Amino acid sequence: MRLHRILWTLAAALLLPALAGADVITYEREELPGGGVLLVKQSRQLPMVRVAVSIPAGARHEAPERAGLANLTAALLTRGTKTRSASDIEKLNDALGGGVGMEAGRARAGASMRVLTRDLEEGLSLLSDVLRNPVFPAEEVGKTKRRIAGGMRRQRERPGHLANKALRKSLFGETPYGRLVEGTEASIKKLGREDIVRFHRKWYGMKGTIFVFVGDVSLKRARELVLARFKGWRAEGGKIPEAAPPETPTKMQVLKIDRPLSQSTVILGNRSLKRTHPDFYAARVMNYILGGGGFSSRIMDNLREEKGLVYSAYSYFASGRHAGHWRLMLQTKNKTANEAIKEAIAEVKRIKEKGVSDKELQDARDFITGNFATRFGSSSRIANYILAVEILGFSPGYADEYLKKIRAVTKEQILAAARKHIKLDESTLAVVGNLGEAKLAY
């Protein structure tokens, strides 16, 4: 039986890329009783189904002093229910082949699983059990807290982690976007079982929850399965804690973290546009040319190809529904940190002052639109795309709208987006490395 499921998993890895055709970005949508939403992308190519459930119970729903509570709650959902022990859940997950996985982000918590069509009912029964009936055993709470704290300690001296943490704190302060989803060792230590039970009771329910099915299942069947297991699921709800971001600086903030390393890790960033901002499409194309296009980008061409200062350097807009920022990242030898930073900033200034050429614009638009379908090479990617479209408030036909807007971007819009949404005077520069060797001029 186990071998049979493994063979189907291997078949899925080989055959799912065939889903990446034009119809992969169409799906059905239905609102459910209680305030939930059901999204179904049916495909009969394989007898498998990917299920994703997104619940409005992320880090933005926890108070700053309880940082890490959303993540801890999600991590404990599979560690015991009213009728199943953690061991029972692990064994059933293994038997199903895909099993139930949980995670928490800044805005939402998520559950996912992939099962054979014949196991869908059993898989959804397990999924509903861990979401609706967790008991958060005290022993499991302690073990999970220690595991999370151990992961934090392992991350503590990683330069990328340190630079990212410093940048987020500078840009977003005490908001959920300025702290790590995992919280801190100190905040995790203070959390008790009562906090977890209260958080689950307050935020886990049907209202605002999104159910995504991708694979061998119809909308009608998916609706029946969901309502049979989640109808009547209610959360107490409440006011989402609010925290204001830091005041906008009037000059670049520089954060230096001294570590005995052979290389310097550099992140430059500023608060920027949200994903629903109408300028997003021009900003997307602009950033592809600046630093998001790999070896085709200006930053890589200058810093790596021409000057040999870095192995990799790139930039992107991290644009979500509630917050967004732009960032540029690179690693270089300590002794070349000043030059690498100077050249990266010079490329930012150049695109803000002079914009882009006709060829750069056309190449960027062609790549972004031509590469769009390759994002859907697996059922998990399809589910994540469908989920993102719903969370952002776009329609099921958003893919066509996205491609049309990318194709319509002009040089004038790119210049305006660069000037408006990359703000060096409001940015933070975070550098982790051997400061004695780097001798930073910033």
Alpha-carbon distance values, 3 to 7, 8, 13 (Å): 6, 9, 15
pLDDT at 373: 86
The mean predicted confidence, pLDDT, of the chain is 93
pLDDT for 144-162, tens place per residue? Answer: 999 999 999 999 889 999 9
- 261-297 pLDDT tens trace: 999 999 999 999 999 999 999 999 999 999 999 999 9
The residue among 370 and 9 whose pLDDT is bigger is: 370
pLDDT at 6 over 80: no
CA gap 50, 200 in Å, rounded: 24
Superfamily name and number for 2-230: Metalloenzyme, LuxS/M16 peptidase-like (3.30.830.10)
Same fold, 2-230 and 253-438: yes
Which phi-psi region, left, alpha or beta, contains residue 92 (left: φ > 0; alpha: ψ -120 to 50)?
Answer: alpha
Q: Which residue has the tokens 């039970």?
A: 197
pLDDT above 70 coverage of the chain, percent: 95
pLDDT in tens, 321-344: 999 999 999 999 999 999 999 999
54, 209 Cβ separation under 8 angstroms: yes
The domain limits of the chain are 2-230, 253-438
Tokens of 304: 């790596």
Task: Give the C-alpha separation, 62 to 44, whole Å.
Answer: 41
Q: Evaluate whether 105 touches 181 at the Cβ level (below 8 Å).
A: yes
Does the predicted model carry a pTM greater than 0.75?
A: yes
Q: Identify whether the C-beta of residue 50 lies closer than 8 Å to the C-beta of residue 380.
A: yes
What is the C-alpha to C-alpha distance for residues 111 and 104, in angstroms, rounded to an integer? Answer: 9
Give the three-state DSSP class for 429.
strand
What phi and psi values does residue 242 have, to the nearest 5 degrees?
Answer: -120, 145
Nearest partner of 434 among 343, 335, 344, judged by Cα: 335
Residue with tokens 């700053």: 64
211 pLDDT higher than 50: yes
Please count the other Cβ atoms lying within 10 Å of the Cβ belonging to residue 189.
12
Q: pLDDT by residue (tens digit) across 78-126?
A: 999 999 999 999 999 999 987 899 999 999 999 999 999 999 999 999 9
Phi/psi at 359 (5° precision)? -65, -45
Q: What's the CA gap between 96 and 160, in Å, rounded? A: 36
Q: What is the CA radius of gyration of the chain?
A: 23
Percent of the chain with pLDDT over 90: 90
Q: 2 or 397: which carries more pLDDT confidence?
A: 397
CATH C-level class of 253-438: alpha beta
Structure tokens that stand for 194 in this block: 């009562």
| Contacts for 405 with CB less than 8 Å, ≥ 6 apart | 281
pLDDT tens, 403-423? 999 999 999 999 999 999 999
**The predicted structure's pLDDT at residue 122:** 96
pLDDT tens per residue across span 21-73: 444 588 999 999 999 999 999 999 899 999 999 999 999 999 999 999 999 99
State how far the Cα of 169 lies from the Cα of 209, in Å rounded to an integer: 29
Residue 19: pLDDT over 60: no
* Structure confidence at residue 224 (pLDDT): 98
